[in-house]
Amino acid sequence: MTHDTVRAMRWRDGALELLDQRLLPGASEYLRLTTAPAVAHAISDLVVRGAPAIGITAAYGVVLSTLQHAEVSGPEKSQRIAADVALLAAARPTAVNLCWALQRLQPLLEDVDAPDLSERCLGEAKQIHQQDIAANHQMGELGAAYIDSGSSVLTHCNTGSLATGGYGTALGVIRTAYRQGRIERIYADETRPWLQGARLTAWELQQDRIPADLIIDGAAAWLMAQEGIQWLIVGADRVAANGDVANKIGTYQAAVAARHHGVKVMVAIPSSTLDMDMPDGSQIPIERRQPDEVTAVLGQPIAPADCGAWNPVFDITPAALVDVLVTEKGALEHPDKDTIAALMAT
């Protein structure tokens, strides 16, 4: 059993269908999108989230743009598609996979009047999607090899099929290790303020019959002290050339606690998440979102009216706190700029 039944996006009858992750776990509904601006809005509004899933979604958004503007030609068509691509690129600034996917389709857009433009773009988008799933399975095998039998692990945010093309990055490692009998206990942080761990990771693992216990974010350090956690396993939205990791807010504090308690830290990402043009984490843009995401939970106010809030969506975990970086190209122990550069050169 692969423990892999969930898909966040699917192409069906000339449209992109996205599982609306804002509604989980209460409802499982797909939104049907037919324009690139609608896709960009869905990305920025967290209908879909997770760096690999965002990149795949944006690629399908380009396909929709070529279909929408099929009746025009020449410079006007090129300008309209370029505007859609720019809109997609601006939807989430931290996830490097977004621009990576758009860049993969860019050569096809050099000839906007090609009669098979939409078909070629769709073929490339589907290839990006399938390659991501294959990469996740490869990462699962590589990462699981580091986990001893009988281990307990903690994960943060959602890094499974909901955040990728399928199977998952960090959850892909956990899925594989669980299937191999290496993992005895799984814990998931709730992941404030959007509760991806509670709403998404717990739901996804339940769908795939993998038992897990949910904890509040503030319990992670005490869990490590009391329960003998062996691994903190997370994904990332961007990893700098030196190995610094941009991931969901709360990852840094979990990694600091892990180092103090002798818990190893594994980061599982596709190689497309490595930004070789970003020398270190200090230059990675950190998205800020609205205060009401912190002062309310699922629309219910939990703070006084007009209370301010500081709401960075991501934080930076220094490479020095990462024990293993897993990609589909291979796994690196104690990654740094030299070992990462060598990996990317393969």
Bridge-based pairing state of the strands 245-248 and 213-215: unpaired
Whether residues 180 and 129 fall in one domain: no
Residue 52 lies in a domain: yes
pLDDT digit string, tens, across residues 159-213 = 999 999 999 999 999 999 999 999 999 999 999 999 999 999 999 999 999 999 9
Whether residues 115 and 144 fall in one domain: no
Report the share of the chain in percent with pLDDT over 70: 99
Residue 104's domain spans which residues? 9-134
pLDDT digit string, tens, across residues 107-118 = 999 999 999 999
Q: What is the pLDDT of residue 235?
A: 97
Residue 152 lies in a domain: yes
Q: Is 108 helix (H, G, I), strand (E, B) or coil?
A: helix
Q: What is the pLDDT of residue 2?
A: 64
pLDDT digit string, tens, across residues 225-254 = 998 899 999 999 999 999 999 999 999 999
Q: Determine how many CB atoms are found less than 10 A away from the CB of residue 258.
A: 22
Residues 6 or more apart from 218 whose CB is under 8 A from it? none
Report residue 100 as tokens.
Answer: 């990576």
Q: What is the pLDDT of residue 146?
A: 98
CATH number of the domain enclosing 333? 3.40.50.10470
Residue 214 lies in a domain: yes
Please say whether the beta carbons of 330 and 343 come within 8 A: yes
Q: What is the pLDDT of residue 96?
A: 83
Q: What is the pLDDT of residue 298?
A: 82
* Residue at a domain's end among 134, 165, 184: 134
* Residue at a domain's end among 134, 161, 194: 134
Whether residues 88 and 232 fall in one domain: no
Q: How many domains does the chain have?
A: 2
Catalytic residue among 189, 208, 237, 323: 237
The reported pTM is 0.92
Check pLDDT > 90 for residue 3: no
Residues 6 or more apart from 296 whose CB is under 8 A from it? 302, 303
pLDDT digit string, tens, across residues 128-165 = 999 999 999 999 999 999 999 999 999 999 999 999 99
pLDDT digit string, tens, across residues 5-34 = 899 999 999 999 999 999 999 999 999 999
CATH number of the domain enclosing 94? 1.20.120.420
Query: In angstroms, rounded to a whole number, what is the distance separating the alpha carbons of residues 63 and 259?
Result: 44
Check pLDDT > 80 for residue 40: yes
Q: What is the pLDDT of residue 1?
A: 60
Residue 2 lies in a domain: no
* Residue at a domain's end among 108, 134, 160: 134
Q: What is the pLDDT of residue 42?
A: 97
For the question of residue 237 being annotated catalytic, the response is yes
Check pLDDT > 80 for residue 126: yes
Check pLDDT > 90 for residue 346: no
